[in-house]
Amino acid sequence: MMRRALSLLSLLSLLSLLSLLSFPAFAETLQADLDAMVASERAFSRLSEEKGFKEAFLTWIADEGIMFRPTPVKGREMLAARPDPPIRLVWQPSHAEIARSGDMGWTTGPWQRQAHGSDEIAYGDFLTVWKKQPDGKWRWVIDTGIAHDKPTAPAGSPPPVPAEKGSLPKVDPAANTAVETQALLAVDRELGQATGKGTSAAYLARVTDDARLMRSGAFPHVGKDAVRAALEKAPAAMTSAPEGGGVSAAGDLGYTYGTAEWQGGKVGYLRIWEKHDIGGKSTWKLRVDWVDDPPPAKP
């Protein structure tokens, strides 16, 4: 029995040592994935500046890409059917995060838009969800944003991958992502029903401490206290229902999108979720929430 216990202890020590030795390589690989995703966002913006809005968006969109007009629509079909708008649209990522599996992530940061022949410049922040494709290239699956006043401070740089991300568990994407996606859609559906009774309490029970609330007309509200203050000014109720979404292979990052009834109109929404360990139980928490502007009232 003693020899067996010592053998088990030796095995556990070996596994711990291998985990420590493999973490630097894992972190380096994940950092490379994050860098590639951010580089794709920057290349996306450069193409928009050089070749125009339509060519840039059609080049970088994934086949399943979604846009909002104001509710969700298939992005490729919408872009192909519309003329290239006469604008100069550029942006840069100031924050980026990636799943531990390196296959999904999101970026956000400031944008500027200027109509051809005009001196006026519009400002805002974008929000993009990215997926790595089978060929290893990054393509966006959802792209949206908000408009606000001119920023008073320059944007920061995307952060490095946090060391506490830890080693990646072995997963079978084909067997797990579909199940996890359905579970996440159920969580989103539950939130959409809860906000029908009041947005503030429903959101605050589900957001992360570093949550980001994005609504046009204001700069992004970052942090739970800022989200709480913003929700106090929001309508008392909003209902929503998911129409799609996805989860990373690691099961730690996901997104949902759909249609919300808000301020008397139907608009699109996008939510980015993180998996958290709360009391020993894996729980989806809301990291980013974006809701489109309500449509203008009919005269």
Domain that holds residue 136: 31-158
> Is residue 165 a part of any domain in this protein?
no
Which pLDDT tens digit goes with each residue over 80-135?
999 999 999 999 999 999 999 999 999 999 999 999 999 999 999 999 999 999 99
Q: List the structure tokens of 65.
A: 């890409």
Give the separation between CA 206 and CA 287, rounded to whole angstroms: 9
Q: Which of 104, 134, 158 is the last residue of a domain?
A: 158
Q: How confident is the model at residue 154 (pLDDT cuts 50, 70, 90)?
A: low
Q: Are 154 and 175 members of one domain? A: no
Neighbours of 172 (CB within 10 A): 8
Task: Please state the φ and ψ torsions of residue 110, each to the nearest 5 degrees.
Answer: -80, 150
> Is residue 11 a part of any domain in this protein?
no
> Is residue 5 a part of any domain in this protein?
no
Q: List the structure tokens of 276.
A: 């958290």
DSSP string for 32-96: HHHHHHHHHHHHHHHHHHHH-HHHHHHHHEEEEEEEESSSEEEHHHHHHHSPPPSEEEEE--SEE
Which pLDDT tens digit goes with each residue over 197-235?
988 999 999 999 999 999 999 999 999 999 999 998 877
- Residue pair 257/142 in contact (Cβ under 8 Å)? The answer is yes
Contacts of 3 (CB under 8 A, 6+ apart): none
User: How many domains does the chain fold into?
Assistant: 2
- Residue pair 214/288 in contact (Cβ under 8 Å)? The answer is yes
Q: List the structure tokens of 9.
A: 């202890």
Q: Which of 102, 128, 158 is the last residue of a domain?
A: 158
Q: List the structure tokens of 185.
A: 């859609």
Contacts of 208 (CB under 8 A, 6+ apart): 224, 274, 276, 285, 286, 287
The domain that holds 76 is classified in CATH as 3.10.450.50
pTM of the model: 0.86
Q: Which of 124, 158, 192 is the last residue of a domain?
A: 158
- Radius of gyration of the chain from Cα atoms? 21
Q: Are 58 and 138 members of one domain? A: yes
> Is residue 278 a part of any domain in this protein?
yes
- Residue pair 200/219 in contact (Cβ under 8 Å)? The answer is no
